[in-house]
Amino acid sequence: MAKTIFEKAGGTYTQVGDYMLPDLLLAEEEKEANIGIWEMRHKRYLKQNHKVLYYNLMTSGKLNSYLADIEQQAQNLFLRLVKELAEKENVTEKLKSTDMMLWVQKMNNIHNSATEIVNERIIYNI
């Protein structure tokens, strides 16, 4: 029997009943699917607004590594911004122990501000 294109390219088959099914495996980088909030937001943005880039990354097998890099950048920026804004607003553990509700209010404001900045600089930006 003549070899198929798949076999010529190094692919193999496994017989299941009367059928020969190709042995398809994901690349190592595609197996790791640790999806974070920033990654999901950027993926949705690409899918809705930059379809060509999204499908090019997906078909080349680089989408997950690209999104993981975006996740790492966004997470680092977010943590740095929260720390800097908390210092700037003088939100400390001392405030937390004296006036818990004020501390929660200020931390929520800082969290929301940092989220908006990360969205603008990384997530919704190509």
Q: pLDDT of 41-97, one tens digit each?
A: 999 999 999 999 999 999 988 999 999 999 999 999 999 999 999 999 999 999 999
Q: What pLDDT sits at residue 30?
A: 53
Check whether 27 has a pLDDT greater than 60: no
* Of 88, 74, 70, the residue nearest 117 (C-alpha): 74
Domains contained in the chain, number = 1
Structure-token pair, residue 60: 């080349």
Q: Determine, yes or no, domain membership for 56.
A: yes
Q: Determine, yes or no, domain membership for 44.
A: yes
46 compared with 1, residue with greater pLDDT: 46
Amino acid making up residue 115: T
Tell me which residue range forms the domain holding 92. Answer: 30-123
Encode burial over 17-37: b for 16+ CB neighbours within 10 A, e otherwise.
Answer: eeeeeeeeeeeeeeeeeeeee
Q: Determine, yes or no, domain membership for 53.
A: yes
Q: Determine, yes or no, domain membership for 101.
A: yes
Q: Point out which residues pair with 14 in neighbouring strands.
A: 21
Structure-token pair, residue 75: 């997470």
Band (24; pLDDT cuts 50, 70, 90) = confident
Q: Determine, yes or no, domain membership for 43.
A: yes
Q: Point out which residues pair with 19 in neighbouring strands.
A: 16
